[in-house]
Every structure is written in C-alpha cells, then in structure tokens.
Structure 1
Amino acid sequence: MTRVLYSLCGRDESRPFSPHCWKISMALAHKGLDYVERPYPFTAIPTIEEGFSKTVPILRDGDRLVRDSFEIALYLDEAYQNLPTLFGGEGGKSLSRFVESFSQMIIHMPVTRMAILHIHDMLDEPDQAYFRRSRLERLGKPIEEVAAESEAERLAFASKLEPVRRTLHFQPYLGGDTPLFADYILFGALQWMRVTAGPPPLAQDDSVMQWFERCLDLHGGLGRRVTAA
C-alpha cells in the first residue's frame, strides 16, 4: 500500500512550504509511517483526487482520504494506535487545539507579512496571479502593502512567542519530554517562514529557537531536507 501526502509547492517541487503540510509530514514520521509526498501548486489543488478538497494537506491512506491537518492527525492516532501517539490522550488533543489557535491567531499573520513577497516569487506565473488575487480578497490590500509591514513584524516577532518561551523553561517540548502534535503545529509555522523567507528572526540562544532546531533534527532531520531560503 502506498500512502500519499498531497502538499503545496511553488515552481520547485522539492521545496514544499505549507505550514499545515509540514505538520503532517512530521506527524507521519512521528508515527513511523512510510509515505510518498506529492506537492502541487496552488492552482492545481482542485484537480487532486477529483476535487476532494480545496486545500492541502490531503492524505490518501489506502482507500481512505482525509483532509485538514488536524483531522489527519486525529485519523492517524485512531488508525494506528499501536504506534507512537501524537496526542497522548484527550488532554493532548486539547493542548493541540490551543496551540493551533495560538499559532494561527498570533504567529501566522506576522509570518505572512514577512514571507508574502518571497512566496509570490517562488510561484509560476499562473499561481502568482492566483496568489495576488486571493491574498487581496483575504487581506484587503495588495501583497506589496502587506509586505511593507514586514520590518515591524521582524522587530516584534520574538515577543509574540513569550508564552512558548515560558513553557520551554519547564520542558524541552510543548508535549513535555518528547514532542507531540502540538509541537508540530508551531513547528509548521516557523518552518513555513524558514523555507520561504529564511530562518525566524530569533536569537540563537533564544529557547524557542533552540526548540526549533531540535524539531528540525527530529526524525532523521526531516525538517532540514529543505534548506532555508
């Protein structure tokens, strides 16, 4: 059986960059499950699996198709209960929901501002047109105006991660002594920036940066298979 993860790329298929897809790459590796990754550009996503989902990641596991990163993680933990857990029980699911909310509400917009022009430049022309149009609809301004706020975001970025920094004072991972899906959620956001715009603007001795480096080394250095921009 070939397990397939459909993910997102620009013109270079070897540089998948979606934060949500990186969560699932790490989750599959955490479970020790073999898979083939098939990256698609934005405008080709509607053709995947006969239009199964408007977004990636999509996981095909035998006859089963699953969309949405959190739903895929829940599926993996339920379907492969004999393999290392992604949540460690109901409490871990609740922790992961909180981290997902924190990441999307606090971290994703700053990364968007810092990375948006870099992402545009990674795309082929049809996807560049789609990206400009869809981001104008979503953000209410052209991507150049969004990117104009990037320097302010760089200066303020470290402070936004203070709750994570405080947590890492007590434990090496958000999941405790070992990583859980909660770690992969935040990792995905920082890896999104690393692959598109370069490493997150954090000092090397910052505990969050040290945690990120540990995550990059997980699963045989899976996160490092794509070099930083």
Structure 2
Amino acid sequence: MTRILYSLCGRDESRPFSPHCWKVSMALAHKGLDFIEKPVAFTEIPKLENGFSKTVPILKDGDHLVRDSFDIALYLEETYPDRPTLFGGEGGKVLARFVEGFSQMVVHPLLTRVAVKDIHDMLAETDQRYFRESREARLGRSLEEFSAGRDEALVHLVSQLEPVRFALKFHPYLGGDTPLFADYILFGALQWARVTTGLSLLPADHPVADWFERCLDLHQGMGRAVA
C-alpha cells in the first residue's frame, strides 16, 4: 500500500518547509511507515485529491485521506498501534495539545516575523502574489514592514522558550527519554524557520538548541537532510 504525504514547497521541491508537514513527516518516520512525500506550491493545494483540503499536510494512506497534522497523528496512532507510540497514552495526547497551543500561539507569531519575507522570496512568481496578498491582509502591513522586527523577535524567542528549557533539564525530550509527537510539534516550528531563513535561531549553548540538534538527527537525519 502506497502512502503519500502532500506537503508544501517553494520553487525548490527538495526543500519542503511547512511546520505542520514536518510534524507529519517525523511522525511517519517515528512509526516506521514508508511514504512518498509530494511537495506542492501554495496555489496547487486546492487541486489535490479533488479539493479535499485547502491546506497541507494531507496524508493519503491507501484510499483513506486525512488532513490536519494532529488528526493525522491520531489516525496513525489508532491505525498502527503495533508501531512505536506517538503519544504514550492519553497523557501524551494532552501534552501534545498543550505544546501545539504553545507553539501556535507563542512561537509561530515570532517565527512568522523572522521568516515571512524569506518564505515569499523562495516562492514562484504566482505563489509570491498569492502569499503577499493573503499575508499582508492578515498582518495589516507590508511583508517588509512586518519583518523589520526580525532581530527583536529572535531575542524574544529565546525568552519565550524558557518553559521548554526548564522541561529539558530533566529529560532529553519533551516526551521523556524518547521523543513523542509533542517534540515533533515544536520541532516543526523551528525547522520551518531553519529551512526558510538559514538562521541560527538560538545561541549554540542553549538547551533548546541542543534538543533541536538531537531532533535533526532522528530517523537517519531526516530533518538535517533538508537545508
């Protein structure tokens, strides 16, 4: 049975960058499930699978389609219970929801300021027009004006990651001694900025930077293979 993961890319299909798609790539690798990744451009997403979803990731597992990264993780956990767990029980699902909220409400807004202009610049011309119009309407200012606060956002990111620093004092991963989906959620956010900007987001000696390096090495270096 062929599994297909539809993800997001710019002009270069070899550099998928969506944080939500990275969560799913890591989750599939964690489960030891083979899949084919098919990165597509923003404006091509509505054409996928007869308009199944306006956003990626989309997982096609045989004839079954699933959208949304968290829903895909839940599907994988239920469908392949004999494979390594993504949650380690109900408590892990609650932890993952908390990390999802922290990532999307605290980390993503800062990384958007850091990466938004770089994302625009890596897109093909048609997608650049779509991205600029949609993001500037959402942000209420030009991409250039919004990204002017990049350096400030990077400083703020370090302070906002203090709860993660604290958690990593006790275990190498948010999931404990081994990673769980909670780790892949935050990893996806930082990988998004890494791939799109090429910046070092955190001081080299920061515990979260050490954790991120460990995550990049997981699953035969899946994350590190995309630069």
TM range (shorter): over 0.9
Question: Are 1:23 and 1:185, in contact at CA under 8 Å, matched by a contact in 2?
Answer: yes
Aligned residue type for 1:185: I
- Could you tell me how far apart the structure 1 residues matched to 2:198 and 2:107 are? 15
- Could you tell me how far apart the structure 2 residues matched to 1:35 and 1:118 are? 28
- Could you tell me how far apart the structure 1 residues matched to 2:47 and 2:101 are? 29
| Aligned counterpart, 2:64 | 64
| Gap runs ≥5 in structure 2 | none
Any idea what the Cα deviations from partners look like across 1:115-164, whole Å, max 9, x if unmatched?
11110110010000000011022212111111011111122221110000
- Could you tell me how far apart the structure 2 residues matched to 1:122 and 1:31 are? 31
Q: Which moved more, 1:118-127 or 1:134-143?
A: 134-143
Secondary structure of 2:38's partner?
strand
The aligned length equals: 227
Aligned residue type for 2:212: F
TM-score, scaled to structure 1: 0.98
| Aligned counterpart, 1:91 | 91
- Could you tell me how far apart the structure 2 residues matched to 1:112 and 1:169 are? 28
| Aligned counterpart, 2:147 | 147
| Aligned counterpart, 2:202 | 202
Q: Which moved more, 1:212-221 or 1:150-159?
A: 150-159
| Aligned counterpart, 2:101 | 101
Q: How does 1:1-229 map to 2 (within 5 A)?
A: 1-227=1-227
- Could you tell me how far apart the structure 2 residues matched to 1:31 and 1:117 are? 34
Question: Are 1:113 and 1:150, in contact at CA under 8 Å, matched by a contact in 2?
Answer: yes
- Could you tell me how far apart the structure 2 residues matched to 1:26 and 1:4 are? 14
How far apart are residue 104 of structure 1 and its match?
A: 0.4
Secondary structure of 1:4's partner?
strand
Question: Are 2:194 and 2:201, in contact at CA under 8 Å, matched by a contact in 1?
Answer: no
Secondary structure of 2:118's partner?
helix
Question: Are 1:165 and 1:208, in contact at CA under 8 Å, matched by a contact in 2?
Answer: yes
Question: Are 1:115 and 1:197, in contact at CA under 8 Å, matched by a contact in 2?
Answer: yes
- Could you tell me how far apart the structure 2 residues matched to 1:141 and 1:68 are? 28
How far apart are residue 200 of structure 1 and its match?
A: 4.0
- Could you tell me how far apart the structure 1 residues matched to 2:161 and 2:178 are? 20
Report runs of 4+ in structure 1 exceeding 4 Å deviation: none
Secondary structure of 1:224's partner?
coil
Aligned residue type for 1:61: D
Aligned residue type for 2:83: L
Please report the RMSD computed on the Cα atoms of aligned residues, expressed in angstroms: 0.7
- Could you tell me how far apart the structure 2 residues matched to 1:189 and 1:201 are? 11
Secondary structure of 2:6's partner?
strand
